[in-house]
Amino acid sequence: MEKPFYITTAIDYTNAPPHIGHAYEKILGDVMARDRRARGREVVYLIGVDQHGQKVQQSAARAGVRPEVFAQDVTAKFLDLWKRLDIAYDRWAETTAPQHTECVRAILNQLHQKGKIYKARHGGYYSVRQEQFLTEKDRGADGSFSPDWGEVVFLEEENYYFRLTEFKDWLVGFLEAHRESVLPAFRWTELRNAVERLTGDLCISRPKSRLAWGIELPFDPEFVTYVWFDALINYISFAGYTSHPVDFERLWPADYQVIGKDILAPAHGIYWLIMLRALDFPDERMPRLLVHGYINLRGDKISKSAGNTVDPAELVGKYGAEALRYYLMREAVTGQDMEFSEDRLVARHNSDLANGLGNLLNRTLGMAKRYRQGVLKKPADSPLAAPAAEAVSRHRAAFDRCEPHAALEAAAAFVAHCNGFIEESAPWKLAKDPAQAERLDAVSMAWPNRSASSPRSMRPRSHRLRSRSVSN
């Protein structure tokens, strides 16, 4: 039995509400997942939220509520957005869920017992106001710390460390042997360079005196788990790593883990891969990382006047989920940054969806009804079958390369071809001449049968097909 297509995205940090970048990433994952489903493959698409950590605790304190209340409130905003954006996820990850916290504890215990986690004392300068250790780069020219940090004290603290450096050689070897493990290729290079610079181990604990909002270390109740160590595990905890081993064996490794370029190195490319290795995952069970770019707002009118933010929920309300999804997928080149433009969104919706695809279906259905009362005879073969097959082929190849923009280009080219075919065959002329009835039958049913039609994944739903052009 074929392994399900398992795809994940980064879980979103619940210290602030979602923005357009969060939306882009989930749409990308959703579209990849839908493509595989449309091809008949079983798919598991996992998204979720990261609810622990210092920033959540701080934001909650500012808002005057408990961390769990704050996290749940922001979580609700993410859930609402995914519903509005029609994100068809199969599983939902919340790092406060028992399935996750128990898995994290089990993993910590395992690594601790194997000697991959050790306790050490470390001293450094600590900002009481910011609640964080300062590094040399926070130090001023005269060697002092900026008043922005408030009171700075030298603090010596015991913590638990994960033996990252022990696995550095393995990681280098793995990456060299698996260039396909990080896409696009230039991100592989970036990660490869970053691994070379890896020196220290990873501190994976925080004393409760400093940070209470997290998963308690199973072997030392005085500490909670560092948020990245906690968060990364979601990819396997919600795949059933400790809770449903049979399920997990089918799912893992992830075919793609969709992440932003900011969290490739060191979080996913180093911490995560080494964590898996430390848990004895062999090379062939390492996930593939798909690294996307940012949605930039620089130079955009609405961002300047609106304080440099574009609220995806607002865009959905204004234009609909399909228009936003189509725009982002059609114009973002996977891995590259893109410039967000509301004008471009409107232009894409109008030209490709409303005028191209929408009008094609409208005129096709209109003529079928008008000339043949909606009853068409199936022809032996269709002149559109070959171009349709080619479009499907290009579409699939593009998705195999993780390039939805290229897949949509293929679909749009086929729509244009169909509109050209109608002009060329001019059914409205044939309809006026009874002698051309047979020809009209052939032309009318030229539309390819379902199995050869354009892939379902990218086809806007029917109620959207009737939408007219919009303007902003």
Residues that bind RNA (CB under 7 A): 136-142, 186, 189-190, 193-194, 197, 261-262, 265, 294, 331, 333, 336-339, 341, 344, 347, 350-352, 354-356, 358-359, 361-363, 366-367, 370, 416, 419-420, 422-423, 426-429, 465-469
SS3 content of the chain, % helix, strand, coil (to 5): 55, 15, 30
Two structure tokens written together for 336: 């590259």
CB of 187 to RNA, least distance (A): 7
- Of 48 and 184, CB closest to RNA: 184
CB of 324 to RNA, least distance (A): 15
Residue 177 to residue 184: CA distance in whole angstroms: 16
User: In the beta sheet, which residues pair with residue 296?
Assistant: 339
CB of 366 to RNA, least distance (A): 4
Which of helix, strand or coil describes residue 403? coil
CB of 239 to RNA, least distance (A): 28
Q: What is the largest CA-CA distance in the chain?
A: 96
Residue 207 to residue 239: CA distance in whole angstroms: 29
CB of 424 to RNA, least distance (A): 7
CB of 124 to RNA, least distance (A): 14
- Of 62 and 432, CB closest to RNA: 432
**CA distances from residue 177 to 259, 288, 349, 401 in whole angstroms, order as listed:** 22, 13, 43, 20
CB of 296 to RNA, least distance (A): 7
The pairing of beta strand 152-162 with beta strand 202-203: antiparallel
- Of 290 and 361, CB closest to RNA: 361
To the nearest 10 degrees (0 to 180), the angle between helices 321-331 and 20-38 is: 90
How many CB atoms within 10 Å of residue 333? 14
CB of 132 to RNA, least distance (A): 13
Cis status, amide bond into 218, omega within 30 of 0 = no
CB of 106 to RNA, least distance (A): 30
- Of 56 and 354, CB closest to RNA: 354
- Of 123 and 366, CB closest to RNA: 366
Q: Provide DSSP, 65-85.
A: S-HHHHHHHHHHHHHHHHHHT
- Of 164 and 354, CB closest to RNA: 354
- Of 198 and 224, CB closest to RNA: 198
- Of 71 and 273, CB closest to RNA: 273
In the block, residue with structure tokens 């995952």: 281
Q: Provide DSSP, 158-204.
A: EEEEE--GGGHHHHHHHHHH-GGGEESHHHHHHHHHHHHT--SPEE-
- Of 317 and 420, CB closest to RNA: 420
User: In the beta sheet, which residues pair with residue 12?
Assistant: 49
Residue 412 to residue 158: CA distance in whole angstroms: 60
CB of 94 to RNA, least distance (A): 26
- Of 113 and 351, CB closest to RNA: 351
Residue 354 to residue 331: CA distance in whole angstroms: 17
